[in-house]
């Protein structure tokens, strides 16, 4: 026998979800201008929505301190409820997308810069031929897109995520070496030990010591002076490397397509091996178009 469900008092709800969304974005982004940008609204429209929410709730959510908006005590207390609503809205959107059984619409794919420029074009050409009704939006980033927050539907990553609500499939293994021009490497030809390469220049991703620690653990003797050029933008790294300004890290299969570069210190072994994973949220996996793109990438990723 079904229990009696308590009826919702609809008259008690006097606010618009879009206004809650505007409040949440403003609190998270820290300013009206930043929130308006991420929401795709004008700043006056966003301001009116915040004012309408304050009027409906009969509370003051923000106060202006100098050039900044600061949450009031009421705003701080209500923010946790707004975040819970935002999480549920994301979940509803995921579930609804997962119910789509049409091979039409948009699928968003998140990939790294090198994957986007060297691997993805051929895959996308085949997907467009096989499924012309599916539109592909590519997010190119070396950061990890949040699939649960719909920053992407599918991602190609060089690590295996641990979240239980993600579906993962191993695509391949990437063998990472250092590469440079033959002219640049010629000056180090006489050395046969990594520790002797104290004057080498390597183009770094950031100013942290993580890469230095990894290489030194393998027998190198490097410091920050060996990383005089730093950029997280891999296409720039590639061009700097071609100019003979240092070595760069590249997967072997991608570097083979760059005829101007040669593998550095091949007899000393690769720097590391990384697994490449195809990742999708489990609810999106039930969407026919997302599942189709997921399966096509899995089939084509290592295909000639």
Same domain, 147 and 186: no
Q: Which of 45, 65, 98 is the last residue of a domain?
A: 98
SS3 category, 59? coil
287 lies in which domain range? 105-169+275-300
Same domain, 165 and 30: no
Mean pLDDT across the stretch 3-10?
A: 52
Same domain, 28 and 80: yes
Tell me, what CATH number does 197's domain have?
3.40.190.10
Mean pLDDT of the chain: 86
Q: Which of 37, 68, 98 is the last residue of a domain?
A: 98
232-265 pLDDT tens trace: 999 999 999 999 999 999 999 899 889 999 999 9
19-68 pLDDT tens trace: 888 888 888 888 888 888 888 888 889 888 888 888 888 889 888 877 67
Residue 28: inside a domain, yes or no? Answer: yes
What DSSP character marks residue 8?
Answer: P
Query: How sure is the predictor about 286, in pLDDT bands with cuts at 50, 70 and 90?
Result: confident
Residue 7: inside a domain, yes or no? Answer: no
Cα–Cα distances (Å) from 205 to 89, 181, 234, 255, 265, in that order, read 36, 19, 8, 17, 21
Residue 5: inside a domain, yes or no? Answer: no
Residue 245: inside a domain, yes or no? Answer: yes
Residue 126: inside a domain, yes or no? Answer: yes
Same domain, 158 and 227: no
What DSSP character marks residue 227?
Answer: -
Nearest residue to 271 (alpha-carbon basis) of 219, 234, 230 = 219
89-145 pLDDT tens trace: 776 676 666 555 567 889 999 999 999 999 999 999 999 999 999 999 999 998 888
Same domain, 161 and 182: no
Residue 54: inside a domain, yes or no? Answer: yes
Number of independent structural domains in the chain:
3
pLDDT at 283: 73
Tell me, what CATH number does 51's domain have?
1.10.10.10
Same domain, 208 and 221: yes
Residue 3: inside a domain, yes or no? Answer: no
C-alpha span between 74 and 76 (Å, rounded)? 5
Same domain, 190 and 266: yes
Cα–Cα distances (Å) from 195 to 32, 192, 221, 246, in that order, read 53, 9, 5, 17
pLDDT at 169: 92
pLDDT at 26: 87
Position 281 pLDDT exceeds 90: no
- The residue whose two tokens read 């982004």 is 29
- Cut 0.75: pTM above it: no
Same domain, 207 and 223: yes
Same domain, 185 and 266: yes
Same domain, 279 and 165: yes
As given in the structure block, the two tokens for residue 227 are 């990383």
Q: Which of 98, 122, 147 is the last residue of a domain?
A: 98
Same domain, 116 and 76: no
Same domain, 46 and 135: no
Residue 6: inside a domain, yes or no? Answer: no
């Amino acid at each position: 026998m079904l229990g009696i469900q308590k009826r919702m008092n609809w008259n008690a709800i006097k606010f618009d979800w879009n206004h809650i969304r505007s409040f949440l974005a403003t609190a998270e982004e820290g300013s009206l201008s930043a929130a308006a940008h991420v929401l795709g609204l004008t700043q006056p429209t966003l301001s009116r929505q915040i004012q309408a929410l304050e009027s409906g709730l009969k509370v003051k959510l923000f106060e202006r301190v100098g050039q900044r908006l600061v949450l009031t005590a009421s705003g701080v207390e209500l923010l946790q409820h707004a975040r819970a609503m935002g999480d549920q809205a994301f979940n509803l959107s995921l579930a609804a997308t997962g119910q789509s059984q049409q091979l039409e619409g948009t699928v968003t794919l998140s990939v790294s810069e090198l994957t986007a420029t060297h691997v993805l074009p051929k895959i996308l050409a085949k997907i467009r031929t096989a499924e012309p009704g599916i539109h592909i939006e590519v997010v190119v980033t070396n950061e990890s897109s949040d699939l649960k927050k719909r920053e992407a539907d599918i991602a190609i990553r060089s690590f295996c995520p641990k979240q239980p609500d993600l579906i993962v499939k191993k695509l391949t293994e990437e063998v990472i070496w250092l590469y440079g021009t033959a002219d640049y490497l010629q000056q180090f030809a006489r050395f046969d030990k990594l520790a002797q390469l104290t004057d080498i220049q390597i183009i770094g991703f950031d100013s942290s010591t993580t890469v230095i620690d990894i290489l030194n653990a393998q027998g190198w003797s490097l410091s920050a002076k060996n990383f005089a050029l730093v950029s997280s933008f891999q296409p720039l790294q590639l061009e700097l490397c071609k100019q003979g300004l240092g070595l760069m890290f590249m997967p072997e299969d991608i570097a083979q397509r760059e005829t101007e570069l040669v593998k550095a210190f091949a007899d000393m072994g690769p720097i590391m091996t990384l697994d490449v994973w195809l990742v999708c949220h489990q609810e999106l996996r039930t969407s026919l178009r997302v599942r189709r793109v997921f399966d096509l990438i899995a089939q084509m990723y290592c295909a000639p």
